[in-house]
């Protein structure tokens, strides 16, 4: 049974010392075969906000779903493949690449800045390639009720 990579483990830096669940790390490593590793320590950033996620699904995805006729989940997969491509390679036992694939990456690990850039890239592409104008978050919010609305609903508010 092959374990998945990478291993992502929460930790905290306190006074120059890394605090983590060492037992959990040992359990995760126990299932892997011997190999060379690269350890990268990154500062954790807050993931996308609930407001960003709501805007993405209610405005970005909805606009593109209505334009293309695809279901919202299909549009989401399309956008991930276009703007967050994840390249996978299938290798033989000797490590020789036999085939390569590109699939959509994940949005769940994007921080607020990265998710904002993801949305901005989609807005630019939609305008240039499709002629679809996706409003900015500030212009898509009904201030009186604090909920996201479709652009064409604005005239009725």
Residue 32's pLDDT is: 85
Q: Tell me how far apart the alpha carbons of residues 25 and 2 are, in angstroms, rounded to a whole number.
A: 17
The token duo for 128 is: 């240039």
Residue 97's pLDDT is: 87
CB 137 within 8 A of CB 51: yes
Model confidence, pTM:
0.62
Query: At CB < 8 A and 24+ separation, what contacts does 84-89 make?
Result: 84/118
Residue predicted with more confidence, 27 or 72: 72
Residue 84's pLDDT is: 93
Residue 153's pLDDT is: 40
* 75-134 pLDDT per residue, tens: 999 999 999 988 888 888 888 888 988 888 889 888 888 999 999 999 999 999 999 999
103: nearest Cα among 122, 79, 121 = 79
Residue 12's pLDDT is: 87
Residue 101's pLDDT is: 87
Please report which helix (H) or strand (E) contains residue 98, including its range: strand 97-104
């Amino acid at each position: 049974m092959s374990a998945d990579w990478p291993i992502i483990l929460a930790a905290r830096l306190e006074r120059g010392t890394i605090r983590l669940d060492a037992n959990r790390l040992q359990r995760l490593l126990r299932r892997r075969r011997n190999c060379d590793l690269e350890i990268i320590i990154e500062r954790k950033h807050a993931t996308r906000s609930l407001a960003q996620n709501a805007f993405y699904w209610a405005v970005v995805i909805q606009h593109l779903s209505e334009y293309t006729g695809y279901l919202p989940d299909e549009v989401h997969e399309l956008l991930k493949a276009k703007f967050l491509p994840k390249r996978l390679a299938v290798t033989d036992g000797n490590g020789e690449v036999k085939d390569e694939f590109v699939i959509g990456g994940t949005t769940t690990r994007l921080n607020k800045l990265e998710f904002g850039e993801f949305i901005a890239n989609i807005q630019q592409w939609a305008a240039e390639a499709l002629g679809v104008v996706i409003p900015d978050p500030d212009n898509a919010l009904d201030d009186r009720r604090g909920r996201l609305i479709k652009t064409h609903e604005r005239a009725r508010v």
